Amino acid sequence: MRKTNIKLRNLVIYQIYVRNFSEQGNFKAIIDDLKRIKELGVDVIMLLPIHPIGEVDRIGSLGSPYSIKDYNDIREELGTIDDFEALIEAVHNNKMKIMMDIVYNHTAKDSNYHYNHPEWYFKDAEGESTSKVNKWTDVYDLNFSSDKALWFELLNILVDYTRRGIDGFRVDTASMIPLDFWKMARRQVRKFNRNFIWLSESIRGKHCKQLRDMGLNCLSEAELYQEFDIAQDLDIEPDQKAYLKGEATLRPYIEGLRRQEEIYPNNYVKLHHIETYDSERIAKRLDNDLDKILNWTGFLFFQKGATLLYAGQEFTSDTLPSLHEKDVFKRKTDISEFIKKLAKLKTRRVFASGKYGVHMRDDQGVAYQTFEDDKNVYHGIFNLEKNKGQLKVYLSDGRYRNYLDKKIIKVENGLIDLQEKPIVIREKLNG
């Protein structure tokens, strides 16, 4: 968005699936934990969908929160609408913002809309409600070209939650909904909150092309930036996953980060992640190697854009989170203090407005990035494979202190010895 504030790049967003955040699985349990979350360095709480879940063709015993029966209602086991508003108030009292997950591409098959307005749905050749893709069996897709009454119904819901105090929306599958709808939504919501945050989940490029080839509408991430402030980092997620699976080198992922600087608007904001509600835990991917986990976590915070933490990541939980069952995350090694250091560093202006450098060093399995302004250069060196040897750096010869553990790092002939722990160095300019 042209008017997007680049300070959004400083944000740390904490994603919560209420059902699996605690044994209680309700809003009150989140309220009781807000002080700890705030101290972690979090700026924004982001909730997965909180609405009643469909029962027809339900996936798993409890169903997916992305199969929604009624946008206006709250899932009973999470609490009442009063409990939800108490959570909003408590988040604000802890000097944080709160975002909701909005799912407007589809609804549950047994949603109130499907019973009352079947004409609002995408139809197959036989005129039966269906979805555009067969990935999810528990939903029908909405058809935004069917009736403008659907638009006004959905816009009213966005305004209602905004008036209740919600500070932002993460929009699921935003690519499948007309850009004109988002233009209208942004205008309406802005009347009640001028600093509202709009976060898009786009559809990956390959899938978007397939939909276009089928004659269906699909907005690219570049198009979504016309109305959204932040985009999830899905364009290069396949490269990240391929590297973590050992199917590719680090180079394509690093080059993807560099390419974002070339193809997106000057004030673009990405939301970077290494785990989410629908991906394997990073600890599991890295075989619970703590040094590698710390390097990947440092690398995450050192990318240009906002940072996403999925609840439990601070405890190096290694259990694949389930969307469809009760599955509270397990607490293992606590790296909260490490995250606090990174979150504090992230607040500095240079990480929003400084010149971002993405450096590649002969596929050494090392991520090396810099942020530079007129006073400082911050160097982040993350040995993702715990390799031995030396790394060429853009630092004058001398001795520097690692911000993360206070140990001395020596630069000689433009080289440093690789460490197993992550390195962050602040280089002062002009004396």
CA–CA gap between residue 72 and residue 94 (Å, rounded): 26
pLDDT digits (tens, 9 = 90+) for 13-54: 999 999 999 999 999 999 999 999 999 999 999 999 999 999
pLDDT digits (tens, 9 = 90+) for 72-119: 999 999 999 999 999 999 999 999 999 999 999 999 999 999 999 999
How, if at all, do strands 44-47 and 376-383 pair? unpaired
What would the CATH number be for the domain defined by 366-428? 2.60.40.1180
Q: Which of 178, 98, 188 is nearest to 143 (CA)?
A: 178
Q: Which of 10, 2, 193, 220 is nearest to 88 (CA)?
A: 193
pLDDT digits (tens, 9 = 90+) for 138-159: 999 999 987 899 999 999 999 9
Q: Which of 337, 279, 266 is nearest to 308 (CA)?
A: 279
* Residue pair 1/227 in contact by the 8 Å Cβ criterion: yes
214 vs 119, 130, 141, 217, 294, CA distance in Å? 22, 15, 16, 9, 43
Strands annotated E in 96-161: 97-103, 106-108, 139-141
Which CATH fold would you assign to the domain 6-353?
A: TIM Barrel (3.20.20)
What number is the average pLDDT over the span 53-82?
96
Residue boundaries of the structural domains of the chain: 6-353, 366-428
Residue pointed to by tokens 């915070």: 301
